[in-house]
Chains A and B, each alone.
Chain A
Amino acid sequence: MADATAAEDRARTLGALERLAATAREGGPAQARTLPGRPSRRRARGVGTTLRTNLTPMIDVVFLLLIFYMATTRWGTDERVIAMDLARRTAQAPAADGAAPAPAPARDPFALDDESLRIEVLADGSVRAGTPLGRTMRLTELRELLARECRGVGSPGGMFEPSFPIVVAPAEDAPWEAAVAVLDAATAAGYRNVGFERRTAPAGAAR
């Protein structure tokens, strides 16, 4: 009975040794490979590694974009300008208490009417061209007329030289757009001496 028990113990021990040998041949104990929480070989030295985001290239690119848009953006709308000479007013500006300034020099009574082409702008937007044209017309008609009568390469038989003075005289209640449209028509036709009529009325409150 004791021999039988000793033999069983021996066989069990041999079996265990054989299993150990088999697992050693396969590369070590399988249990050790599946242990949770064991640090990997790469991160074995560091615990709690810090990840950093390098933002410097992004900031560089943003600055480049900023400079680009600053250089290419036009602040404000696409506004244009019509350059115009004003009559020089030698009189003093009106005083703050409302006193009228000195009146402009009177018009030469011997001056001829055809020294300049006077174009009145009426309140409804129509225009009345003075001597030598002498009639009321729509703005589109005036535009064509001014272009046709401006003597130049395109129209050698035109009535007016490009230096011929064009005086725009809007009515008091004429809209600003109509006044500017006549000015634009004259400058677009090629006239170089275009301006608003100088009023002898005192400057200051218009009404």
Chain B
Amino acid sequence: MRASRIHSRGPAHIEAQLTPLIDMAFLLIVFFVLVGQVASAEFVELSLPRTASDAPGRPGDAQRLVVNVVPARDSGAAAYRLGRREFGPDAGGLAELARTLAEAIRAKPALEVNVRADRATAYSWVRPAMDAVSDALALSGVDRSRVRVRLVVLPAGGGDG
């Protein structure tokens, strides 16, 4: 090793303490991986309907379940997705969706249910999702005065969904 001009008797030893940096990088990786998984499980890439007014409110901080109507060609629905689980767009799939929702509502009666659907999806494919929410409350036996569902939209002038 070549001696430096300043220190003629030996090379200069420059050490960087990288251990905290690596620790923190790992923490960040774990954090973003977890958040990314949660976000991807909850949200399906959809072109949400856009409203013309500011009447819609912001989603609250309450715990919620998101039922996504996965779009298919010709404005139909390919599936209904709740978290990571997918349910077929037939009677059996919708009944299973209602039972799954009922179990979740029974465990946490204060759960909010959001319905996300593509703007081009026909109403006949969104209505079964809302009916499944209503069925779920009936199945759960939770005494709620009313069945409330939240329809997810984009505000006027908002970003893409």
Contact = CB atoms under 8 A, between A and B. Distances in A.
Query: Do A and B share a complex?
Result: yes
Interface of A: 36-37, 39, 43, 47-56, 59, 62-63, 66, 75-99, 101, 121, 143, 170-177, 179-181, 183-185, 187-188, 196, 199, 203-207
B96 A203 contact: no
Contact of A48 (B7, B91, B124): B7
Given A75-B35, A93-B99, A187-B55, A175 B148 contact: no
15 contacts: A48-B12, A80-B152, A81-B57, A86-B149, A87-B134, A89-B131, A89-B138, A93-B135, A93-B136, A101-B135, A180-B49, A188-B55, A203-B132, A205-B91, A206-B125
A76 B28 CA distance: 18
Contacts of B122: 172-176
Interface in B85-111: 89-92, 94-96, 98-99, 102
Contacts of B131: 89, 203
B76 to A, nearest CB: 8
Contacts of B42: 76
Contacts of B28: 66
A91 B138 contact: yes
Given A188-B55, A196-B130, 18 more contacts: A39-B8, A55-B18, A79-B152, A80-B56, A81-B152, A89-B147, A94-B95, A95-B95, A96-B92, A97-B92, A170-B123, A176-B49, A176-B123, A184-B153, A188-B53, A199-B127, A204-B90, A204-B94
B43 to A, nearest CB: 6
A59 B95 contact: no
Contact of A59 (B24, B39, B146, B155): B24
B146 A177 contact: no
Contacts of A84: 148-151
B85 to A, nearest CB: 15
A177 B49 contact: yes
B73 interface: no
A52 B15 CA distance: 5
B16 interface: yes
A78 B159 CA distance: 7
Chain B, interface residues (CB within 8 Å), range: 35 or more
Contacts of B119: 175-177, 180
B117 interface: yes
B62 to A, nearest CB: 11
A55 B9 CA distance: 28
A55 B22 CA distance: 12
A181 B50 CA distance: 8
Contact of A82 (B92, B132, B153): B153
Given A43-B7, A47-B10, A84-B148, A79 B124 contact: no
Contacts of B136: 93
Q: Which of A51, A83, A183 has the most chain B CB within a 10 Å cutoff?
A: A83
Nearest to A46: B7
B96 to A, nearest CB: 6
A86 to B, nearest CB: 4
Interface string B51-86: 111111111000000000000000110000000000
B161 A179 contact: no
Contacts of A85: 146-149
Contact of A196 (B18, B98, B127): B127
